[in-house]
Structure 1
Amino acid sequence: MGHEEAECPYAVGNIISLQLDASHNQQTVEAKITRVFEPFTLSCVMLVSLEPPVLGLDDQMVLKLFDRRFVVEFREMWGIDSWTPDIEQQFQQFVMDNSGSEFITRLKADDKLVDKEGDSWNNLQDEAWVHYRMQDFYNRETEVYHTMRDIQGKDIPRLFTSVNIPGSPSSRYTDVSGILVQYIDGFELYALGDSTPSQFWQSVCEDAIRIVRLFGNRGILNQDVNVRNFIVQKGPAGIFKPSMIDFATCRFRREYKDEHDWREWKSRQDEEGAVGFVMQRMLKGGYAYHRSAYYRQLDYEFKMDE
């Protein structure tokens, strides 16, 4: 590339200044990174503590930053060059020009633009598209948390606040959006067989599928349901409880043209089976998956010819 890649600031021991959302008077706080969850895919995820503790928030929280610069796996997956300070300087100039703002307007108007024209884009257009996708991921994740607010702290983590890291004063396209959410100290659902006695397997898996169904009942299609996106925690009474995490790729009922389209995509995604069938296979008889009437009907409607 001819340019040295910049060192990622999201490392253990580093301190990040965060601007909290309007509900917290846009207060600025310092977050010390105590753990980093790599690789960075759709967001940069880390465990942080606020110094000093403020607003009655937990001692440790998960910070998710939708930072286009350092989502390494996302950039690699789409064949986009690694971020450098030189690219950033050019990008800031690009988004201040009319051509840059017009391009971003086109991105917002047509979410299929990357499929139509992406192969011909230059580095700066690529950078603008990654920014657009990061903001979309942030918007989707926060909408899910607000839609499912009644199960926060029970079946999904609690959302404490949205945050922002301001970029260039002259352009909002260099800001970094993020969230602070509850840290659930546990293990991923796929490790259930190695982490709990077998008498808990059926109830934990059934609880995970119950959460999947709650999302569907609220008009949410989670494109990233898998056994790594549930964290299982042992409670004080010795009961193991799963919680679903990561909602950046969720879609909503309003995005589908009609009920048939919605049901067809629910069938294709098969969120319930992505947990039930997989865990039944992994636990080798220790868990029996009972498919719901809703998904049996979807199978009848859309999979009879397969």
Structure 2
Amino acid sequence: MENIPPCYSSGQLLTLQVGADHEPFSVLIVSAHGKWTNSVNLLVKVLPNDSNIEFNAQLVFLKLYDRRFAPAFRERWDVEPWTPTLEEHLFEFSHTGEARDVLDAWRDNPYTEYDFSAPDYHKEAVISEIMTEEFEKESEAYSVLEDHQGEYIPRIMASVFMQIGPAGIIGERPIPLLDDPLILGKSCEMFEVQGLLMEYYPGFPATKIDCQTDPGDWQHLKNRCINLVGHVMKSDQILHEDIRPKNVVITRDENYLRSYRVIMTDFRSTMMRGTENDEEWADMKKRYDEKGMMQAKLENPPRRRGNGNPPQGSGSSTASAWWNFDGYDVMTQE
């Protein structure tokens, strides 16, 4: 089996861009979440820059939609673990122009004919597009919920992208002329990693209320989590298909009731209202019932195995990275 070099590690510099018209800027990885399922989650420090990025020298949360290092995402689409050789094959696929045909076909008829028997580089091209779609979905969710940013949900500092290429796992310098077919072939977008740079809230997930707080605060905090979800998701433009207590972060803050602040995170599994009329949309909201789902999961948490530790081999979810930068794992609710 091919040895896969370390991907993201503490002390590493990443070069990000907000857009083609902005100067690249660097962030220093302070801590990397060791197990990723659907995205890469990093605690970073934004270095001084000329791109008008706020919070220079402060710790922020960087969520990268990196198809290469997303085990659960790859498993869902029956794609083998990523290797540098696979990236080389994808690079060649882009240069022949065949990747463009595959991507165009997917965009014309998404999710209808996914070929599970296709070569790995073929599927790698498709999941690069799917990963971009999931990034756009979460970005749109934060935009729709903009009024809640900084209070009930994280504040987005910037949508960013990072250039990658077949020569290395992660480059510390941008690849020049990203859109030049002579460099990355005819499907250059496959070699961009999209991400969200947002405020970081150190704390613990709602799944840990019973072991991180005093018994007298348990019900109070659970009620606040339930009401928070109801408040945020009352919008008539968005619904959440996968409400989980681990996606609510509780952080200690003396400026809030009982010195606890409650933040809802992770809007990857959301659906935007499309052509549904009021009755159809009301039925959908009732069926998903985000507030009721949060209440049910908080009042009937999954049983732990053995001594209460996560099952061996289980990884932490994307949301757990909001509070887990010290190697502490939670038992997922998958």
| Structure 1 residue 196, shift from structure 2 partner | 1.9
Match of 2:88 in 1: 89
Runs of 4+ in 1 over 6 A off after TM superposition: none
The alignment-based identity, stated in percent, is 25
Match of 2:37 in 1: 41
Using the size of structure 1 for normalisation, the TM-score is: 0.81
Match of 1:269 in 2: 288
| Aligned: 1:190 with 2:190 | no
Contact 1:39-1:73 at 8 Å conserved across structures? no
- Please list the CA deviations of residues 87-139 of structure 1 after superposition, one character each: whole Å capped at 9, or x if unmatched: 112212223434311211121222223xx343232212210121112101110
Pairing partner for 2:16 from 15, 18, 23:
18
Pairing partner for 2:244 from 226, 248, 257:
226
| Structure 1 residue 261, shift from structure 2 partner | 4.9
| Structure 1 residue 35, shift from structure 2 partner | 1.4
Query: Which secondary structure does the structure 2 equivalent of 1:209 belong to?
Result: helix
Query: Which secondary structure does the structure 2 equivalent of 1:179 belong to?
Result: strand
Contact 2:66-2:131 at 8 Å conserved across structures? yes
Contact 2:77-2:127 at 8 Å conserved across structures? no
- Measure the CA separation in 1 of the matches of 2:292 and 2:131: 28
Give the 3 Å change call, closer, same or farther, for CA 39–273 of structure 1 in structure 2: farther
| Structure 1 residue 79, shift from structure 2 partner | 2.6
Unaligned runs of 5+ in 1: 284-306
Contact 2:36-2:69 at 8 Å conserved across structures? yes
Using the size of structure 2 for normalisation, the TM-score is: 0.75
- Measure the CA separation in 1 of the matches of 2:84 and 2:73: 19
- Measure the CA separation in 1 of the matches of 2:236 and 2:95: 39
Return 219-228 or 265-274, whichever deviates more: 265-274
Count, aligned residues = 276
Return 64-73 or 207-216, whichever deviates more: 207-216
Read off the aligned partner of 1:197 and give its amino acid letter.
D
Match of 2:129 in 1: 132
Higher relative contact order structure (alpha carbons within 8 Å, sequence separation ≥ 6): 2
- Name the one with the larger helix percent: 1
Contact 1:231-1:245 at 8 Å conserved across structures? yes
- Please list the CA deviations of residues 271-293 of structure 1 after superposition, one character each: whole Å capped at 9, or x if unmatched: 2232101222359xxxxxxxxxx
- Measure the CA separation in 2 of the matches of 1:183 and 1:197: 24
| Structure 1 residue 245, shift from structure 2 partner | 0.8
